[in-house]
A and B are shown apart, each in its own frame.
Chain A
Amino acid sequence: MSLLADRVNMEQNKHWQSFGELNNSDAFQKAGKDEFKEDLPFEGKEGGGFFKTPTPRRDFLKYLGFSTAAAAIAAGCEIPVRKSIPFANKPEDIVPGVADYYATTYVQDGDVVSVLAKVRDGRPIKIEGNELSPITGGGTSARVQASVLDLYDSARLRFPTMGGKELTLEAADKSIAAELAGIGGAPVVILTSTINSPTTLQAISQFLAKYPGSRHVQYDAVSHTGMILANEASYGKRAIPSYRFDNAKVVVGIGADFLGTWLSPVEFARQYSKNKKIDEKNPTMSRHFHFETVASLTGSNADERYLHRPSETGAVAVALMNAVNGQGATGISDPKLKAGIEKAAKELAANKGAALVVCGSNDVNVQVVVNAINDALQAGGKTIDWSVTSNYKQGVDADFAKLVQDMNAGAVGAVLIHGANPAYTWFDAAKVASGLSKVKLTVSFSPRIDETAKLCKYVVPDNHYLESWGDAEPKSGYISLMQPTINPLFKTRQWQSSLLKWSGAATDYLSFLKTYWFAKLGGETGWDKALQDGVINPATEPATAGATFNGGGVPAAVSAINGSKKGGTTELVLYQKVAIGAGQGAINPWLQEMPDPLSKATWDNYVVISPTMAKSLIGVDVTNNGQADDYEVNPPKRQVTVKFNGQSVTLPALIIPGTQINTIGIAVGYGRNKEIGLAAQTDEGDAVGKNVFPFASLNGNGVQFFCENVDVSLSDDPKYVIAQEQTHSSYDTPQGKRVEVMKELTLNDFKKSPDDILKDREHELAPYGGLEKFEKQGTIYGYYDKPGIHWGMSVDLNTCVGCGACVVACNAENNIPVVGKREVSRFHDMHWIRIDRYYSGDDIDNPTVVFQPLMCQHCDNAPCENVCPVSATNHSSEGANQMIYNRCIGTKYCANNCPFKVRRFNWADYTGADSFPHNQVGHISEVTLGMNDDLTRMVLNPDVTVRSRGVMEKCSFCAQRLQEGKLKAKKENRPLKSGENNEWDLKVACQQACPTNAIVFGNANDKNSAISQMRQSNPYRLFHSLEQLHVLPNVNYLAKVRNRDEEDATMEESKGA
């Protein structure tokens, strides 16, 4: 039978469900009719009103339909439109989601650091150090890390202006060319900060050649005039040599903050740390004496620090010279200081050829004396290398003073300004302003309306360095190349191109640059290679060489120093902060919010006073627990007024130990023009901090950043809030020293009994099975194996200098919001890594300082994990403590239970990532809001979630980098490499940024990884913070060892406790 027939047959069959249906009985028919037992609720026709009827079905449907539609419309209106545009034609070399790295060079006012720019989808988002640079070796500084944010700064000028009005580039060119032609032979001056780019210098000289009588003036806000001129006098070279801290066994610094702000801190920190690394089998270290006036980063890292008044700098140098020459430290009255000088001199003299003295003074005479000391120590060719000069700072203040004079005399026809900002940084800014007003043509290349650009007729904004071509020669023979990583965002142009154009050259700067380097590198291939590397190094490292010292000027220098003004009661020092510098960092929210390494303050400058002065000046005795507590827990601080020579400034006073008792310090770089960006303004609309450059003075050839006799008095102004991220600075408590938190000891101690710390740990853990069995016996819970990868981090407290590069690197890598001063002062800061700074020692005015970078310790038995009610924070199989943001409900219990207090909560909608609209009110600062615009958000790392309000966050060990590294290894079908033979599949952001390689990270289960090696080779110094809690951190520290003579009491005390 066919299928069709089958179906027909089926359809004809009668199907029935009951006998009633089969017979079609009456009962069945009735049941069919009455299928619905009750009437359907139709609206009764007989009326009775709407409310009396049973629910009218149609009306119900009508209302349902209306309300659904209304809800849909209402909801539809609220949804913001987010544009996401795919590539119509995908560029060949861009793979979405994969970062490209371009070697380029960070250049700012002579500072040069070779870097790699990480570019994601056409946007540079992160700066990493370039490990091919022999100068920095991959190290960076906070300012280098933060520079990527400047690219996306909404306060950048977006077009050229004339008298504040927009102009096209062509119009500007035409108009400026016409004006240049019309100045009638008056000299043109190109005013810049230090330029160490060979091609730029060539472009400048081409330009100058066109305008005879013109000159190039280099002006550095904080110059090294004293050194440059002293070297000219002593060695006949108007230059600065290379310093080789890595060759020095004894380093003496006299006010030179070479780890923070002096000359080339990244380079020096790297060299310096080499001799601070300890080989536990054969422990040796360099010894560093530091003489300073106000606590600095470098002084805080010194093995021994001595304090002196700023007016005594010359006397200290002379005394040191005399002592080195075996004549005793004469002319120093302070016995402590005198003993220190003699001790330093003894050490120096004992290490001739491996000793180095550096001095931060800008006084030629002092530097001549320092040169004499270095000569006596046979430093030339060993720790001072004249075969390679340092080109970071070349400005001589006298040149600029002359320019100011000429401008005021009307003897300058045109000024073209790049980099320098004298209307802010020159002590006599009014003279600069009046001078500029007398110059016919003033052109600024400033990327923003800074104080000087405001006074210029034309502003032709320069590109950001990430948009630029270029080169730099930070040290003679060492070249670092700059290439753009993004098209210029705005209608800006590289200033070199402008110069070339205005000098009538037909080429733009790129072809000019290529021509220059093709010739040197043998054409395109060499150029391409150099560009890829980012650096051009000498084929062989030039042998270090000395220079002939001419001591003829020394007696005159000594007598000049002896005859100089003696200080008064209170002296003032103007210093630069690591993050802000001479004001360059003031535009950058990351830098403003980076806590100062010493004061831990953000967003302000203040008067630094010693604990002794605090007692008399602001009535706070820090040795009195009650007063100290009161001072610490209340962010509003007393204000003091500082007066000198008609200048007056009122600022809050912060007590910073390590400051000479009769000396106060104030940071420069604050009180900037508000138009330079939101970061330079407070929420009240004032400038952040106050400008103290006017307190500087010109002494002969160089600007001196101190005043011998200032009048300091307590101000009647109300207290002023200082936002500090750390308020308590001692790990000593009335109940005992918290040595589980921090361990430090002296080299002598360490040599005598290297296993002190190990024994100490063993003793502490003895009741729980001792070190060996602590992990298993210290808990009632089970033990789990840790197969596969187990991440670990080691931080060497001996090499960490506390510079803060890691803090800003972490900001950039992990999209950490800037919360503004108000929130920081409420302890709402968001930094995932912080650098804890502790003071110890008996001398309250001059304690020893130790820095401890602290991030999430990724405890294997994490107290945060078991208290989260929703398991939003949990442990990965690789030992990392992870945060699941979209699971987090924000109870903050984890943060409470974290003994390290590293967890950060999104107190408000800092990022604009929240689903609630219009809720960025209340405590959110303008600067935070300013970072939520589309331009600034381009800096965000697309691999990292932008956290919304109400969730907890913390260090993730850069989970995105771990994933990338693992994938890389997997693709190559091999185990992950984390430091084996110095091969790295991944480096976490803080580790990458660190100039001293203090942070090591990797797979602790891999015996060959750097982290395992580090732990194995440092058994004696290794410790985990708060180990006794059995939280089992995956971060370990290596104890701080100080090369001091006296033995440290720390360890002794802990045994008693």
Chain B
Amino acid sequence: MHLKYESQLREPLVDGIKDYHQVTEDIVRPIEVKPSKLWYICFFISVAFLMFGVYSVYREVVYGIGQWNVNKTVGWGWDITNFVWWVGIGHAGTLISAILLLFRQGWRTGVNRAAEAMTIFAVMCAGQFPIFHMGRVWMAFFIFPYPNTRGPLWPNFNSPLLWDVFAISTYFTVSLLFWYSGLLPDFGTVRDRAKTKLRKKLYGILSFGWIGSTKHWQRHESLSLVLAGLATPLVLSVHTIVSMDFATSVIPGWHTTIFPPYFVAGAIFSGFAMTQTLLVVIRKVYGLEEYITMGHIEAMNKVIVLTGSIVGCAYLTELFMAWYSQNKYEGYAFWYSRANLFSPYGWAYWAMMSCNVLSPQIFWFRKMRRNLMVTFFMSVIVNVGMWFERFVIIVTSLYRDYLPSSWTVYYHPTIWEVGFYLGTFGLFFTCFFLFSKYFPVIAIAEIKYILKTTNEGFKAKVGGLEAQPVEEFAHDYAH
């Protein structure tokens, strides 16, 4: 019998032979060198998209929502579809940082920083839609419960849209705090390595005077746990509340009690897919394959196939309930407007079905889970599918609801609706490129924290122990 220092079932979380310095070098290096040409090209493309989005929104704000093709029957179209989509994407970050932290999942360390950044940027993008889908956005402040001279006149606390405001803003605040508190030790590291005055000053400010004292570490750990505790319910609550925008309504196809869990599962599903998309690129571009390992990729693919299947169950449950209730309005919404491939939006439903339910089943195979190309391709497919899910829910429910007289003409977006969406991509990637250039994309401190237990370098050092029989070790230890 031999001692086992390291799990034989789990593969290492950090590949290669690393010491603390090497870790710092690997992760901080991209921040300290000039960005590559590719970075500039990508960054400016992102900014161009952002500018197009700004112009699209400008048109909509100044000329009216009529710049879009939403109409008297389909009041929400691409705008709210994109809102729900972006919010959903954000969820993976919180799940990885908060819930996995509480569950002490070591593998989260490689990916949590980027995932959290993604959360924050995704929520920023999401927030644009409910704001700018308003006909009179300049009056948007009416939605806040502020004291006023009109009575005071409060917002309507019954409205799910108001709940959204609270849910999203809380979510954004907590996610930002969590992310930033995690960044403090790393900013300290970057500051300490800084060679120019400006960098020193800037990162000095950003690090909030982190000196790595035991007191700092102790407080940092406590804060992380507290924030993780706060963020955990948010993972469930935010998309639950978003789903209530629909679930509390009377529209067949929206009025569905299954929505909260189904939306949460869908959110995690799409969030993990988006994380995959980004990480597959980042690990390549910044040479971080040893920190974001195939093990990470595989773990996330497992989450994808799990949540994808939950979502699939929800789809089938909806169809079943629509039949089982024998409610003709529900029946029409689910069986005709959606499941019937030959109805006007049938293609969207089946695009959703094949992207979200059928294709992720490929991840039952280990080989596929560990295949980068497949992973990347699937991660994109999943987010396309999840976009269609929201589109299907919003548009196919509305366009043919209760009164056949109001059934509308085909809803398709105008260039300005598409432009708004592209603009949020611009915003997202502009932020993400800036983040990846100026912030450590992997949590250095946390990697160091797990390095002892998982890396080859340490394994080599203690390898002798494993060769020793237990009795011998016990004997040595006793003396």
Residues of A within 8 A of B (CB): 625-626, 629-630, 632-635, 726-731, 733-738, 741, 823, 825-829, 834, 836-838, 852, 854, 863, 866-871, 887-893, 895-897, 899-901, 903-909, 916, 919, 921-924, 949-952, 1025-1026, 1029, 1031, 1057
How far apart are B71's CB and chain A's nearest CB, in angstroms?
3
The residues in B between 397 and 423 inclusive whose CB is less than 8 angstroms from any CB of A are 398, 400-410
Task: Check A825–B403 contact: CB distance below 8 A.
Answer: no
Pick the residue among B135, B155, B401 that contacts A951 (CB under 8 A).
Answer: B135
B156: A residues at CB distance < 8 A = 866, 868-871
Task: Check B402–A633 contact: CB distance below 8 A.
Answer: no
Expressed in whole angstroms, the Cα–Cα distance for A55 and B434 within the complex equals 34
Expressed in whole angstroms, the Cα–Cα distance for A1029 and B402 within the complex equals 10
Task: Check A734–B336 contact: CB distance below 8 A.
Answer: yes
Expressed in whole angstroms, the Cα–Cα distance for A944 and B328 within the complex equals 40
| Residue from B64, B73, B133, B326 with most neighbouring chain A CB atoms (10 Å) | B64
Task: Check B135–A949 contact: CB distance below 8 A.
Answer: yes
Task: Check A892–B326 contact: CB distance below 8 A.
Answer: no
The 5 closest A-B pairs by CB, nearest first: A890-B135, A950-B135, A907-B66, A827-B71, A735-B331
The residues in B between 147 and 176 inclusive whose CB is less than 8 angstroms from any CB of A are 153-156, 158-162, 165
B134: A residues at CB distance < 8 A = 889-891, 950
Pick the residue among A727, A825, A838, A922 that contacts B66 (CB under 8 A).
Answer: A922
Say yes or no: A869-B410 contact (C-beta < 8 A), given A893-B75, A901-B401, A916-B62: no
B160: A residues at CB distance < 8 A = 867
Task: Check B142–A887 contact: CB distance below 8 A.
Answer: yes
Instruction: Please tell me if B72 contacts chain A, counting CB pairs below 8 Å.
Output: yes
Pick the residue among A629, A726, A888, A1029 that contacts B136 (CB under 8 A).
Answer: A888
Task: Check A905–B404 contact: CB distance below 8 A.
Answer: no
Expressed in whole angstroms, the Cα–Cα distance for A1026 and B402 within the complex equals 8
Instruction: Please tell me if B43 contacts chain A, counting CB pairs below 8 Å.
Output: no
A889: B residues at CB distance < 8 A = 134-137, 139-140, 142-143
Instruction: Please tell me if B342 contacts chain A, counting CB pairs below 8 Å.
Output: yes
Task: Check B407–A632 contact: CB distance below 8 A.
Answer: yes
Say yes or no: A733-B404 contact (C-beta < 8 A), given A897-B249, A907-B64, A916-B62: yes
How far apart are A948's CB and chain B's nearest CB, in angstroms?
8
Expressed in whole angstroms, the Cα–Cα distance for A215 and B419 within the complex equals 68
- Using CB atoms, name the residue of chain A closest to B416: A922
Instruction: Please tell me if B124 contacts chain A, counting CB pairs below 8 Å.
Output: no
B328: A residues at CB distance < 8 A = 733, 735-738, 1057
B71: A residues at CB distance < 8 A = 826-828
Pick the residue among A735, A837, A871 that contacts B335 (CB under 8 A).
Answer: A735
Say yes or no: A899-B404 contact (C-beta < 8 A), given A633-B344, A890-B136, A1057-B328: no
Pick the residue among B69, B136, B250, B407 that contacts A728 (CB under 8 A).
Answer: B407
How far apart are A222's CB and chain B's nearest CB, in angstroms?
30
Q: List 12 A-B contacts (CB under 8 A).
A: A630-B344, A728-B405, A734-B335, A736-B331, A827-B408, A829-B72, A870-B143, A891-B134, A893-B161, A899-B401, A951-B136, A1026-B402
Task: Check A734–B332 contact: CB distance below 8 A.
Answer: yes
Task: Check A869–B403 contact: CB distance below 8 A.
Answer: no
Expressed in whole angstroms, the Cα–Cα distance for A788 and B160 within the complex equals 32
Instruction: Please tell me if B76 contacts chain A, counting CB pairs below 8 Å.
Output: yes
B62: A residues at CB distance < 8 A = 916, 919
Instruction: Please tell me if B63 contacts chain A, counting CB pairs below 8 Å.
Output: yes
Task: Check A905–B140 contact: CB distance below 8 A.
Answer: no
Instruction: Please tell me if B70 contacts chain A, counting CB pairs below 8 Å.
Output: yes
Known: A633-B344, A837-B405, A922-B59. 13 other contacts (CB 8 A): A625-B343, A632-B409, A823-B66, A828-B66, A838-B404, A870-B155, A890-B134, A893-B159, A897-B250, A901-B403, A905-B72, A949-B64, A949-B135
Say yes or no: A854-B403 contact (C-beta < 8 A), given A869-B165, A890-B65: yes
Chain B positions 326 through 345: 1 when the CB is less than 8 Å from some CB of chain A, otherwise 0: 10110110011000101110
How far apart are B328's CB and chain A's nearest CB, in angstroms?
4
Task: Check A950–B405 contact: CB distance below 8 A.
Answer: no
Expressed in whole angstroms, the Cα–Cα distance for A626 and B347 within the complex equals 12
B249: A residues at CB distance < 8 A = 863, 867, 896-897
Task: Check A727–B142 contact: CB distance below 8 A.
Answer: no
Task: Check B159–A869 contact: CB distance below 8 A.
Answer: yes
Expressed in whole angstroms, the Cα–Cα distance for A646 and B309 within the complex equals 67
Expressed in whole angstroms, the Cα–Cα distance for A496 and B336 within the complex equals 64
Expressed in whole angstroms, the Cα–Cα distance for A890 and B135 within the complex equals 4
A837: B residues at CB distance < 8 A = 405
Pick the residue among A727, A735, A823, A922 that contacts B67 (CB under 8 A).
Answer: A922
- Using CB atoms, name the residue of chain B closest to A917: B62
A870: B residues at CB distance < 8 A = 142-143, 155-156
Expressed in whole angstroms, the Cα–Cα distance for A896 and B69 within the complex equals 15
Q: How large is the interface on B (under 10, 10 to 19, 20 to 34, 35 or more residues)?
A: 35 or more
Say yes or no: A905-B65 contact (C-beta < 8 A), given A888-B135, A891-B134, A895-B75: yes
Instruction: Please tell me if B48 contacts chain A, counting CB pairs below 8 Å.
Output: no
Expressed in whole angstroms, the Cα–Cα distance for A173 and B344 within the complex equals 65
Task: Check A633–B135 contact: CB distance below 8 A.
Answer: no
The residues in B between 33 and 69 inclusive whose CB is less than 8 angstroms from any CB of A are 59, 62-67, 69
A836: B residues at CB distance < 8 A = 403, 405
Expressed in whole angstroms, the Cα–Cα distance for A1025 and B402 within the complex equals 10
Expressed in whole angstroms, the Cα–Cα distance for A837 and B402 within the complex equals 15
Expressed in whole angstroms, the Cα–Cα distance for A721 and B410 within the complex equals 13
B403: A residues at CB distance < 8 A = 741, 836, 854, 899-901, 1025-1026
Task: Check A892–B76 contact: CB distance below 8 A.
Answer: yes
Pick the residue among B64, B76, B135 that contacts A919 (CB under 8 A).
Answer: B64
Expressed in whole angstroms, the Cα–Cα distance for A826 and B69 within the complex equals 7
Say yes or no: A923-B161 contact (C-beta < 8 A), given A888-B135, A896-B398: no
Task: Check B143–A633 contact: CB distance below 8 A.
Answer: no
- Using CB atoms, name the residue of chain A closest to B64: A908
A1031: B residues at CB distance < 8 A = 250
How far apart are B336's CB and chain A's nearest CB, in angstroms?
6
A729: B residues at CB distance < 8 A = 404-405
Expressed in whole angstroms, the Cα–Cα distance for A869 and B157 within the complex equals 7
A905: B residues at CB distance < 8 A = 65, 72, 75, 135
How far apart are A888's CB and chain B's nearest CB, in angstroms?
7
Expressed in whole angstroms, the Cα–Cα distance for A906 and B67 within the complex equals 12
How far apart are B245's CB and chain A's nearest CB, in angstroms?
8
Instruction: Please tell me if B372 contacts chain A, counting CB pairs below 8 Å.
Output: no
B335: A residues at CB distance < 8 A = 734-735
A1057: B residues at CB distance < 8 A = 326, 328
Instruction: Please tell me if B31 contacts chain A, counting CB pairs below 8 Å.
Output: no
Expressed in whole angstroms, the Cα–Cα distance for A614 and B263 within the complex equals 44
Task: Check B343–A629 contact: CB distance below 8 A.
Answer: yes
A834: B residues at CB distance < 8 A = 405
Task: Check A892–B331 contact: CB distance below 8 A.
Answer: no
Task: Check B64–A633 contact: CB distance below 8 A.
Answer: no
Task: Check A867–B159 contact: CB distance below 8 A.
Answer: yes
Expressed in whole angstroms, the Cα–Cα distance for A890 and B165 within the complex equals 15
B162: A residues at CB distance < 8 A = 869
B248: A residues at CB distance < 8 A = 867
B73: A residues at CB distance < 8 A = 827, 901
Expressed in whole angstroms, the Cα–Cα distance for A908 and B61 within the complex equals 10
How far apart are B98's CB and chain A's nearest CB, in angstroms?
28
Expressed in whole angstroms, the Cα–Cα distance for A1025 and B401 within the complex equals 14
Task: Check A633–B72 contact: CB distance below 8 A.
Answer: no
Expressed in whole angstroms, the Cα–Cα distance for A905 and B400 within the complex equals 18
Expressed in whole angstroms, the Cα–Cα distance for A919 and B137 within the complex equals 15
Expressed in whole angstroms, the Cα–Cα distance for A949 and B62 within the complex equals 10
Task: Check A827–B72 contact: CB distance below 8 A.
Answer: yes
A735: B residues at CB distance < 8 A = 328-329, 331-332, 335-336
B409: A residues at CB distance < 8 A = 632-635, 727, 825-827
A923: B residues at CB distance < 8 A = 66-67
Task: Check A871–B407 contact: CB distance below 8 A.
Answer: no
Instruction: Please tell me if B251 contacts chain A, counting CB pairs below 8 Å.
Output: yes
How far apart are A118's CB and chain B's nearest CB, in angstroms?
29
A921: B residues at CB distance < 8 A = 63
Task: Check B153–A899 contact: CB distance below 8 A.
Answer: no
B398: A residues at CB distance < 8 A = 896
